[in-house]
């Protein structure tokens, strides 16, 4: 799933959309596009390939308009070329979409039978066509969107604008995150709050099934049953600074070198520096009563979970079950109520892990989330969050997010072991002092690594 940015502002939207999309570039994508509203009609720019291609196109053929939507696409239906790039538009509706519309074939057939013509190979195109269909029956943009949403199946986030409607930008969230940015007389929409940082720090997060109508001066959020609901506005930790590589060769190189600092930051959250005692945030259950722990995660986070299993079992003597998130629900595990289910995710948005979390919640488990993004969906839905303090991780292969997960899980294991009476205070202090040494040791290893790299480069150039 890729990036969505929407702007209903006071200045030209296109440069701001591109600026927002740049902050989502790390997700990987194959094409990009934007649409603005100019004199009531859509002005579209789309390009296959990198965002710089779209930027060049916009420099070459500038686009005005203070209301607009933009997208970076990771093709699931239809090859990554210009005509399949989002936004997709009819004369009256333009849409950007992350995710998949599962029932697009049925909808496409129905709409084709009504005379609608399709120009792309995407699943997405049914969305503007369907909304257009409802607009033709005399519904307002909000009413037509609400009707269309009820027909869509799948996991997705949407950004929608309407011809002739300079004060309406609609967003919808189902299974894919969407955040609303609250500016001064301007409003923003993005699939990741990081994209909103250049414009505002005041952000609210849509919940599952929500959809939102943005106007210049505010937002009205409705839930899946179309009831108006309030979603709290929070101040994000993201700052407006561009996420840069500094002097490093690439993001992953920079992130590897950030490890001593972020491991230290993460430890500070859990370890008392003088006594060495570990403290977790207030828990809604007693640690000493925990008789088993289930861990669920994907990819690198799953590997962190595998390591944690050793620690929890050997230090605390508590049995651990671990699953890859995508399998957890399907094996229908019998789960006794009141257990502890621990979910690990860098972004806090991993769709399979989130689905597993919902399943565990239904089964009456205490939900613990180890996540790196404090405003993420998992952080909001968990009973308790054990944050990792790695900062934004841009590199796709996880480095600092993984090591800070390990640190957090080590602290959890020690706290559990202590509560279970499996660890003396002296042994806890000994192990937590060893943990406190990790940042310095990591810095030593990295300095050594850089010396070897320097030597290798000098030899190659000699």
Residues that bind ligand GLU (CB under 6 A): 1-2, 73-78, 97-100, 122-124
Of 122 and 345, which has the nearer Cβ to ligand GLU?
Answer: 122
Q: Closest CB to ligand GLU among 9 and 33?
A: 33
Kindly list the distances between the CA atom of residue 148 and the CA atoms of 89, 113, 127, 131, 286, in Å, as whole numbers in the listed order: 15, 17, 7, 6, 46
Nearer to ligand GLU, 16 or 46 (CB): 46
Query: In the block, which residue shows the tokens 């943009």?
Result: 141
For every residue of the chain, which 3-state class applies, written as one string? CCEEEEEECCCCHHHHHHHHHHCCHHHCCCEEEEEEEECCEEEEEEEECCHHHHHHHHHHCCCCCCEEEEEEECCCCCCCCCCCCCCEECCCEEEEEEEEECCHHHHHHHHHHCCCCCCCCCCCCHHHHHHHHHHHCCCCHHHHHHHHHHHCCEEEEEEEEECCCCCCEEEEEEECCCEEEECCCCEEEECCHHHHCCCCCEEEECCCCCEEEEECCEEEEECCCCCEECCCCEECCCCCCCCCCCCCCCHHHHHHHCHHHHHHHHHHHHECCCCCCECCCCCCCCHHHCCCEEEEECHHHHHHHHHHHHHHHHHHCCCEEEEEHHHHCCCCCCCCCCCEEEEEECCCCCHHHHHHHHHHHHCCCEEEEEECCCCCHHHHHCCEEEECCCCCCCCCCCCHHHHHHHHHHHHHHHHHHHHCCCCCHHHHHHHHHHHHCHHHHHHHHHHHHHHHHHHHHHHHHC
236 CA to centre of own chain? 14
Compute the least distance from the CB of residue 127 to ligand GLU, in Å. Answer: 10
Minimum distance from residue 73 beta carbon to ligand GLU (Å): 4
Q: How far is the CB of 160 from ligand GLU (least distance, A)?
A: 14
Give the Cα separation of 237 and 110 in Å (integer).
45
Min CB(420)–ligand GLU separation in Å: 44
Q: Which is nearer to ligand GLU, 95 or 263 (CB)?
A: 95
**Shortest Å, Cβ 97 to ligand GLU:** 5
Work out how close the CB of 457 gets to ligand GLU at its nearest, in angstroms, rounded to a whole number: 39
**Judged by CB, which is closer to ligand GLU: 71, or 238?**
71
Task: Work out how close the CB of 25 gets to ligand GLU at its nearest, in angstroms, rounded to a whole number.
Answer: 13
How far apart are alpha carbons 85 and 120 in whole angstroms? 9
Closest Cα to residue 119, out of 81, 151, 157?
A: 81
Smallest separation (angstroms) from ligand GLU to the CB of 82: 13
User: Minimum CB separation from ligand GLU for residue 418, in Å?
Assistant: 44
Nearer to ligand GLU, 16 or 73 (CB): 73
Q: Which two tokens stand for residue 167?
A: 């004060």
Least separation in angstroms between residue 121's CB and ligand GLU is 8
Q: Which one, 193 or 320, has the nearer CB to ligand GLU?
A: 193
Of the two residues 2 and 271, which places its CB atom closer to ligand GLU in the complex? 2
Which of residues 31 and 432 has its CB atom nearest to ligand GLU in the complex?
31
Give the phi and the psi of residue 2 in degrees, each rounded to 5.
Answer: -110, -145
Residue closer to ligand GLU (CB basis): 83 or 326: 83
Nearer to ligand GLU, 80 or 333 (CB): 80
- Closer residue to ligand GLU (CB): 38 or 75: 75
Contact 403, 299 (CB under 8 A): no
| Smallest distance from ligand GLU to CB 148, Å | 16
> Minimal distance in Å, beta carbon 175 to ligand GLU?
11
Nearest-angstrom CA–CA distance, 138 and 222 = 21
């Amino acid at each position: 799933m890729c990036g969505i940015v929407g702007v209903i502002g006071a200045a030209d939207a296109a440069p701001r959309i591109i600026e927002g999309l740049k902050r989502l570039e790390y997700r990987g994508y194959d094409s990009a596009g934007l649409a603005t509203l100019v004199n009531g009609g859509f002005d579209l720019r789309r390009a296959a390939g990198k965002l710089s291609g779209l930027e060049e196109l916009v420099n070459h053929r500038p686009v005005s308009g203070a209301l607009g939507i933009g997208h970076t696409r990771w093709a699931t239906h239809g090859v990554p070329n210009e005509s399949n790039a989002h936004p997709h538009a009819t004369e009256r509706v333009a849409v950007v979409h992350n995710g998949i519309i599962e029932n697009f074939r049925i909808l496409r057939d129905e709409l084709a039978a009504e005379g609608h013509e399709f120009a792309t190979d995407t699943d997405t195109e049914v969305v503007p066509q369907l909304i257009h269909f409802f607009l033709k029956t005399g519904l307002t943009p909000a009413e037509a969107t609400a009707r269309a949403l009820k027909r869509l199946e799948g996991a997705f986030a949407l950004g929608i604008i309407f011809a002739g409607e300079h004060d309406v930008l609609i967003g919808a969230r189902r299974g894919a995150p969407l955040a609303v940015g609250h500016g001064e007389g301007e409003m923003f929409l993005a699939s990741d709050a990081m994209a909103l940082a250049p414009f505002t720090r005041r952000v609210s997060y849509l919940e599952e099934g929500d959809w939102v109508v943005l106007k210049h001066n505010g937002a009205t959020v409705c839930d899946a049953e179309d009831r108006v609901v309030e979603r709290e506005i929070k101040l994000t930790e993201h700052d407006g600074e561009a996420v840069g590589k500094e002097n490093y060769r690439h993001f992953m190189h920079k992130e590897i070198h950030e490890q001593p600092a972020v491991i230290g930051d993460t430890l500070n959250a859990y370890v008392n520096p003088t006594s060495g005692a570990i403290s977790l945030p207030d828990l809604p259950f007693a640690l000493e009563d925990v008789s088993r722990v289930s861990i669920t995660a994907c990819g690198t986070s799953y590997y962190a979970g595998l390591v944690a299993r050793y620690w929890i079992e050997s230090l605390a003597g508590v049995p651990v079950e671990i699953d890859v998130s995508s399998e957890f629900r399907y094996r229908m595990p019998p789960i006794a109520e009141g257990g502890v289910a621990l979910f690990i995710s860098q972004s806090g948005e991993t769709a399979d892990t989130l689905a597993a979390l919902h399943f565990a919640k239904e089964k009456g488990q205490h939900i613990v989330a180890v996540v790196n993004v404090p405003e993420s969906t998992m952080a909001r839905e968990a009973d308790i969050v054990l944050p990792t303090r790695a900062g934004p991780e841009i590199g796709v292969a996880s480095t600092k997010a993984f090591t800070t997960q390990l640190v957090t899980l080590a602290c959890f294991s020690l706290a559990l072991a202590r509560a279970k009476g499996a660890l003396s205070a002296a042994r806890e202090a000994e192990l937590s002092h060893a943990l406190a040494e990790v940042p310095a040791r990591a810095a030593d290893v990295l300095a050594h690594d850089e010396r070897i790299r320097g030597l290798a480069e000098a030899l190659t150039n000699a």
